[in-house]
Chain A
Amino acid sequence: MTFKDLNIISMKDFSRDTIDHILNTAEKLEPVARGLEKSDLLDGKVLSLLFFEPSTRTRMSFETAMIRLGGRVLNLGSVEASSIAKGESLADTIRVVEGYSDAIVLRHPKEGSAQMASELVSVPIINAGDGAGHHPTQTFLDLYTIRQESHLDGVKIAIAGDLKYGRTVHSLCYALSLYGAEITLVSPKELRLPDEIIYDLKKRNIKVTQTDSIEEAIRNIEVLYVTRIQKERFPDPAEYNKVASNLLITPQLLEKADPKLKIMHPLPRINEIDPRVDDTDHACYFNQSFYGVPVRMALLALVMGVLE
């Protein structure tokens, strides 16, 4: 597979071999990501960041990745201060920015926006979230975290929280299916993974179980992936509090878990994980957000054609 000029739109475009190659490349670049080694791999290259929705980790880790590899970053800045506020279409914006950049990172509230952008320009488009659609670079860094902190092949993983609306969860489940994972889905009934995704996973012979009890799920897993439960999904605040407290990860709960269990969270967390968990060996969510840097470095170096 040639990576040069490849668009990163959806995990479904990637085979296991391709994902492995990206993760291996990230691993080689990790010392650069940590600032232990210097690199000028992307010297003279320009990356444009077009974020039409708020972002902290994704935007900053792309910036860091580019800077660590010696490249430069152009930032659209706030939508209010750009031509978008004058009514310019995304299509026009993308075509203009193509002239300034070697690759474009796009986050946009509409599903399919990155796919449309990729049809309009010849520089690679990296999807950093298209509405409730895909967020493939998050999935790559999640896979990398699982590989570095535990193991990927046949991993026993529980995914807890909002599985219905969480865009990271759908892509992650798909990717985990390529590695023969055993997946336990933990959520209240109203936030369960959509049936078509469960059907799709079972079709791939993936062992999937569903439960609403975190206590039940925690006993026999190697990785626990916690997602944020959005308050606004619940018309009744009391109902939100009930659901959130049932899924809360506490040190007491973790006494029942395998000592090697790793806990991940795409962050920001609100109150899904008790801060006392942060100091245990289980917590790896801050490592996870760091791993976004080597993974994005690998993707940038590959799509800009400086690594193969």
Chain B
Amino acid sequence: MTPNKSPTQKRELRVRPIENGTVIDHIKAGQSLNVLRILGIPDSSEDVVSVVINASGEHGKKDVVKIENRELNVREVDKITLIAPNAVINIIRHFDVFEKKHVVIPQNIEGVVRCINPNCISNSSEPVTSKFTVTSAKGKIVLQCKYCERVITENIADRLL
């Protein structure tokens, strides 16, 4: 007979604390798989990655991603900002939160997103890196191509380079 587990034990099973690595919290519900895609997981990580989808948060449903033994770099954080502008990134060392930071929407991004306009010079064979200005309106990220001025507001995750 299996003994009953306490509520704490149940939570433990769902979201196991990690010893070292990164916990990305407050990801917009449903975007965690795109976060994994940005981070190149599973190909870029040998270690365990846990994903919680539709967890209850203060402001409704959210996703959480826990990546063991990896701390994110600025470029990775920039990309995450575009699809999860409210995310909080916790760097974990020895089971403690070593650093907690809210993502900051960058004013400009380079080489992160492909322009939606097939006739934009940044989508040609010319040696040019895509550049966008980033603004947010009503909690939504708005990207404007520095070259052709085309605006991207939807499905940014699909446009990531």
Contacts and interface: CB of A to CB of B under 8 A. Distances in A.
Interface string B122-160: 101111100000000000000001111111000000000
B121 interface: yes
Contacts of A132: 119
Interface stretch (A17-25, A56-64, A108-116, A246-254): A108-116
B51 interface: no
In which size bucket is the chain B interface?
10 to 19
A2 interface: no
B120 interface: yes
B119 A131 contact: yes
A196 B142 CA distance: 14
Contacts of B126: 89-91, 110, 116
B108 interface: no
A98 B117 CA distance: 28
Contact of B147 (A89, A90, A91, A115): A115
Contacts of B117: 111
Contacts of B128: 91, 116
Interface residues of A, number: 17
Given A116-B121, A132-B119, A111 B147 contact: yes
Contacts of B150: 111
A112 B127 contact: no
Interface of B: 117, 119-122, 124-128, 145-151
Interface of A: 10, 89-91, 108-113, 115-116, 130-133, 196
Q: Which 8 A-B pairs have the closest CB atoms?
A: A112-B147, A111-B148, A112-B121, A112-B148, A110-B121, A113-B121, A116-B121, A115-B147
26 contacts: A10-B149, A89-B125, A90-B121, A91-B126, A91-B127, A109-B119, A110-B119, A110-B120, A110-B121, A111-B117, A111-B120, A111-B121, A111-B148, A111-B149, A111-B150, A112-B122, A112-B146, A112-B147, A113-B121, A113-B147, A115-B121, A115-B147, A116-B121, A116-B126, A116-B128, A196-B151
